[in-house]
Amino acid sequence: MRPPPTTLSSVAVSLYDFSPGTAPLLVSMPHCGTHLPPHIAADMTPGALEVPDTDFHMPRLYDFVAGLGASVLSATHSRYVIDLNRPPDGAILYPDANNTELCPTTRFDFAPIYRDGCAPDTGAISARVEEYWQPYHARLAAELDGIRQQHGYALLFDAHSIISVCPRFFEGRLTDFNLGTAGGASCDPALGRSLFKQAQEYPAYASVLNGRFKGGYITRQYGRPAAGVHAVQLELSERTYMVEALPFAFDETLANAVRPVLRELIRTMLAWKPK
């Protein structure tokens, strides 16, 4: 078995990767990182070091978006360090549902992330917000503002994936394509409908608009249609492109089948313009 994909090098790792584009679209990947700073990893359980709740292989799966002119911002650090798709004050995103924290203390399967007595306290969480959360969001906000100034509007596609069976968050097996627009508040409703209609053109995959995953903090915070910023989240079932157990391998055959759907969603977004 290959070792888990976590990176634990003591060499400094950038907080995010960014590639600029020419189109009015920014693709954000806030949960694809696997890096654990050694001083944080030292407090974690062996199971947590495998970072099983990562949105694995997002940059590889979406390797075509730069060719379509999109800018790409992707996290390098694990969501176990801090969750970039949660508000910095730790407010609950999904009332009446199970939620994970800004600095998660349990994995999706409820297993502990930290050894006994080692979970971050309030001071440590505040330090992580400043060191890891703020830089990603500063770059995200700046890029969206720059796109809007250049093109007159900005589009944000927040790319996520999750294991297809996760009783903590939903019953049964997850729908393949879960599009979220904060119930129509984070983008022009016509854009959300267009994307959903495009996804339905591929009956091999099930799709839903504003189902269990309506969009996290990034979609809700930055999606401001009245201000010219239109945001959409896609929560993709991992079964569509990878092996969902260790070593969490990328499956090129599956990926080649699902990429055309993703490509058409991105093209649909790029073809849309506000009226």
**pLDDT tens column, 65-111:** 999 999 999 999 999 999 999 999 998 887 777 878 999 999 999 99
Averaged pLDDT for residues 144-153 = 98
**What is the radius of gyration, based on Cα positions, of the chain?**
18
Q: Could you tell me where the beta strands, DSSP code E, fall in 12-141?
A: 16-19, 25-29, 71-75
Confidence check: pLDDT of 62 > 70: yes
Average pLDDT value for the chain = 94
Confidence check: pLDDT of 2 > 60: no
Averaged pLDDT for residues 183-210 = 98
Q: Which pLDDT does position 35 carry in this prediction?
A: 97
pTM of the model: 0.94
Q: What are phi and psi of 28, to 5 degrees?
A: -110, 140
The answer for residues whose C-beta is within 8 angstroms of residue 220's C-beta and 6 or more apart is 93, 182, 185, 186, 231
Interval 150-160: pLDDT, tens: 999 999 999 99
Question: Among residues 156, 164, 161, 204, which one has the least CA distance to residue 181?
Answer: 156
Averaged pLDDT for residues 6-35 = 87
Domains annotated on the chain, with CATH: 16-39+50-78+126-271 (3.40.630.40)
C-beta of residue 258 within 8 angstroms of C-beta of residue 241: yes
